[in-house]
Amino acid sequence: MSPTKNSQQTQKVPSIFLPPLIRGRFIERPNRFLGLVEIAGGTVEAFVADPGRLEELLYPGAEVYIARSNSKQKGRRTCFDLRLVRAGRVLVSVDSRVPNELVGKLLRLQGLPPFAAYTDVRAEPRVASGRFDFCLRRDGQTPCYVEVKSCTLVRDGSALFPDAPTARGARHVRGLQELVSKGYRAAALFLVQRSDAKVFAPNTVLDPDFGSAFKEATSAGVEVYAYTCNVSLERISLAKEIPVHLTV
């Protein structure tokens, strides 16, 4: 393929483009949503949009990248967002808002093969058990509910979710199972916000309840997909689908 064609193809890949980033060193995490980062000129506070533990990523001295925030949220105390962390040779996105935004773009462009038949994409649909991330519809097709989860933990090539016990995650998986029992199509999509994962599996050792709910849901017909991301200092895009295992 010629460089020109390759360049044109790259431009068509849906991406989340990042604002200008500032390199820094992670100091500590006073609470789930706040990180202290040392940059040239001093120490700043940065909003951490991922409520997970991130213990294997956010340790003192870790190379991180922050960006000035455009948020006008009332009561917000930080001027920066923590966006990326370096883990060896790869960059990892630690912004849990990215997966829904990226998957939403892909769904609307019919860019995810398992869901390419759907043309109507609705965000945050309400059902009896609560809300899910997306509902996909098309005349003649069974409606499909999709729940998107962010995954950042990778060990020995295995992407693991969650990295902290999550009653909410187990509840969502059971909710998808309930939708299947009512005749709907339902899927959980795990977006691994890094490029070095080879397979995906539930982190059953850390969260047995989620692992149990995951296994029951897949046995009942809930579909599960996992994709990795290409993460650079400029943008985040979908990389490839990886196999889903019930155990590591």
In the chain, where the domains are located: 16-93, 98-242
**What's the CATH number for 98-242?**
3.40.1350.60
Among residues 135, 29, 34, the alpha carbon closest in space to that of 81 is found at: 34
Flag residues of the chain having pLDDT under 50: 1-11
Which pLDDT belongs to residue 6?
A: 40
Give the per-residue pLDDT at 171.
96
- Retrieve residue 222's tokens: 């809930």
| Percent of the chain scoring above 70 in pLDDT | 93
pLDDT for res 11:
43
Tokens coding 18: 């990042």
Q: Give whole-number Cα distances, 160 to 40, 104, 155, 215, 245, in Å.
A: 34, 22, 8, 14, 10
Q: What is the pLDDT of residues 6-33, one digit of tens each?
A: 433 334 579 999 999 999 999 999 999 9
pLDDT value of position 41: 86
> What fold characterizes domain 16-93?
OB fold (Dihydrolipoamide Acetyltransferase, E2P) (2.40.50)
Residue 130: the pLDDT is: 84
Q: Which pLDDT score is estimated for 13?
A: 76
